[in-house]
Amino acid sequence: MVIKVNDEKERFLERIIGISDPWYIDIIREDKIKKEIHIYLSFPKGTKFKCPNCGKECSAHDTYKKTWRDLDIHSYKTYIHAKIPKIKCCNGIPTINPPWAREYSHFTLLMEDNILKLAKMSTISKVANYIKEHDTRIWRVIIYWVNKCREKADFSKVVNIGIDETSKKGHKYITSFVNLDTRRVMYVADGKDHTTVLEFTTDFKEHKGISENIINVTSDMSLAFEKGIKECFKNATIIIDKFHVIDNISEGINKVRIAESKDNDILKKQNIFGLKMILT
């Protein structure tokens, strides 16, 4: 079904999806069975586009079709279709990148922004199920923008670092490195041995970090972490974080409780969780 729109509604929709001159909406098709909306864009004949390499304005030499997933409209999956121009310039045929999407992406910039917001609140698999896309495509968006942001990361003022490991699946571990003052994750490495600290230090220096400026590093009682910290942050004081201290104290007390409960019925049903709460 082809949807007819007047100029006023068309201009409004163009603003909503981020379309500007010379692009305009040519046709809108509705698929009620699949609950999809397809918006076809075009540009006037003779339109000149700036070469992405030298900035010279050139007419389109050829075009190729491309499709992007956009934000849903009233639960209808929305797609934008356009013929992307190619121009003859710079001893080649550069392709013009449209303003509503980044190069090589399956999504519009608006859709990618929505994906990033959803990813802050849920797992990637749930985000993929919610927007009805394969999780591989979601990961590509996340990885691209995380790497893009990390290019601008500046660790020159970092003085306090936190290190902690967690398991991904079974016995596969990752180690997180956090700026304790801003509570932002700076780096995540596979594994939990001293080489993860060496790996982080390399990345830390690449982002203007100064290892001699590190005053405190918190971690658990891992000897591997201790080795890495002493090698990489010679001026830092190693601080065992309180949660691991509490866990070790609680575990020790619980072992004593179990041993003594054989002769003391009162100790048999005591909950060690209360002790953890008090210590915290």
pLDDT at position 187 is 94
pLDDT at position 55 is 73
pLDDT at position 81 is 96
**Could you read off the pLDDT of 77-126 as tens digits, one per residue?**
999 999 988 888 776 777 778 889 998 899 999 999 999 999 999 999 99
**Rg, C-alpha atoms of the chain:** 28
**Could you read off the pLDDT of 117-134 as tens digits, one per residue?**
999 999 999 999 999 999
- Convert 239-258 to b/e letters by CB count within 10 Å (16 or more is b): eeeeeeebeeeeeeeeeeee
What residue spans define the domains of the chain?
1-100, 102-152, 160-240, 243-279
pLDDT at position 184 is 92
**Could you read off the pLDDT of 131-160 as tens digits, one per residue?**
999 999 999 999 999 999 999 999 999 999
pLDDT at position 227 is 92
pLDDT at position 3 is 55
**Could you read off the pLDDT of 193-244 as tens digits, one per residue?**
899 999 999 999 999 999 999 999 998 888 888 899 999 999 999 998 777 6
Consecutive H or E run containing 268: none
Q: Determine if the peptide bond prior to 98 is cis (ω within 30°).
A: no
Residue type, position 161, single letter: I
- The pTM of the full predicted model, rounded to 2 decimals, is 0.74
- The whole-angstrom separation of Cα 204 and Cα 214 is 11
pLDDT at position 165 is 87
Check pLDDT > 80 for residue 9.
no
- Asked whether the beta carbons of 218 and 197 are under 8 A apart, the reply is no
Check pLDDT > 90 for residue 161.
yes
pLDDT at position 268 is 59
- Convert 126-144 to b/e letters by CB count within 10 Å (16 or more is b): ebbeebebeeeebebbbee
Kindly tell me the burial class for residue 70, based on how many C-beta atoms sit within 10 Å of its own C-beta (0-12, 13-18, 19 or more): buried
Please report which confidence band the pLDDT of residue 5 belongs to, taking 50, 70 and 90 as the band edges.
low
CATH class of residue range 160-240 = alpha beta
pLDDT at position 11 is 74
pLDDT at position 154 is 95
**Could you read off the pLDDT of 30-81 as tens digits, one per residue?**
999 999 999 999 988 888 888 777 778 888 888 889 999 999 988 899 999 9
